[in-house]
């Protein structure tokens, strides 16, 4: 049986929305341990299309310092 590869993240959906007149997009992330019924924190932020931060796909892959620096930037531009 063939193994399916994971599709790489891209901005195709967001670009389509922008072309249709959408002005912003929400980014969502979650953090938690254990089963889905366990403690989980989820958050969303809405950013204008003109102020996109590319390359940020998963906060768990960032160092604490990188997260703090990005947070400061997000606070200044979030809708």
pLDDT digits (tens, 9 = 90+) for 31-75: 777 666 778 888 888 888 765 555 566 777 889 998 888 888 888
- pLDDT attached to residue 16: 92
**pTM summary value:** 0.60
pLDDT digits (tens, 9 = 90+) for 1-27: 677 788 777 778 888 998 999 988 888
d(CA 70, CA 57): 12
Secondary structure (DSSP) of 30-44:
EEE-SSTTS-EEEEE
Q: What are the counts of helices (DSSP H) followed by strands (DSSP E) for the chain?
A: 2, 2
Q: Could you tell me the two tokens for 63? A: 């160092």
* Domain ranges across the chain: 14-32+40-77
């Amino acid at each position: 049986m063939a193994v399916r590869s994971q599709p790489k993240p891209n901005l195709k959906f967001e670009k389509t929305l922008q072309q249709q007149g959408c002005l912003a997009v929400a980014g969502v992330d979650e953090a938690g341990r254990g089963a889905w019924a366990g403690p989980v924190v989820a958050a969303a932020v809405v950013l204008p299309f003109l102020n996109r931060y590319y390359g940020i796909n998963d906060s768990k892959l960032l160092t604490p310092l990188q997260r703090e620096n990005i947070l400061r930037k997000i606070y200044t531009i979030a809708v």
